[in-house]
Amino acid sequence: MASITEAQARQVRVLRKVWYRAWPTKRDYSFTFEFEGGGWRVYVNNPPPVNGFIHLLAGGGGRQFICYNPPGAASHATPVPTLSEAQAVAAMWADCVENFRDSRQFAPAPGRPQVVDRSVLNGFRAYPSL
């Protein structure tokens, strides 16, 4: 796959079937990233059968997207600023869901390894780090 910049991804606007293998269970999660409202919304294509609160909000067409609420945000439905950050949100969410299924705590399982971004946007940021 050829490299893609954040600007190019925003022109495409929708990236479907982005897969992540959760830790430690190795369950595969499928996501769709859509650029809307000035940022990325992370839709979960295959939400797991979980009884309890797993930080999903209802989107259009009956789809569910990850609740994202950075510090200082007025809404739990804040779009994620960059695609790289949206990928990180998706990975963290999947790992938290897997731990929730086992421990009933929505947090990464102890010993979670650092996620290495091997995507074509590795290291790209749409704005400078603070």
Q: What is the pLDDT of residues 66-91, one digit of tens each?
A: 988 888 877 778 899 999 899 999 99
**pLDDT tens for each residue of 5-61:** 888 889 999 999 899 999 888 999 999 999 998 999 999 999 887 776 778 888 878
Closest CA to 31 of 97, 75, 109, 106: 97
pLDDT (0 to 100) of residue 43: 95
Using CA atoms in the order 51, 40, 122, 89, what is the torsion angle rounded to 10 degrees? Answer: -20
What pLDDT is stored for residue 42 in this prediction?
96
Backbone angles phi, psi at 20, to 5 degrees: -140, 135
pTM above 0.85, yes or no: no
Average pLDDT, the chain: 82
110 three-state secondary structure? coil
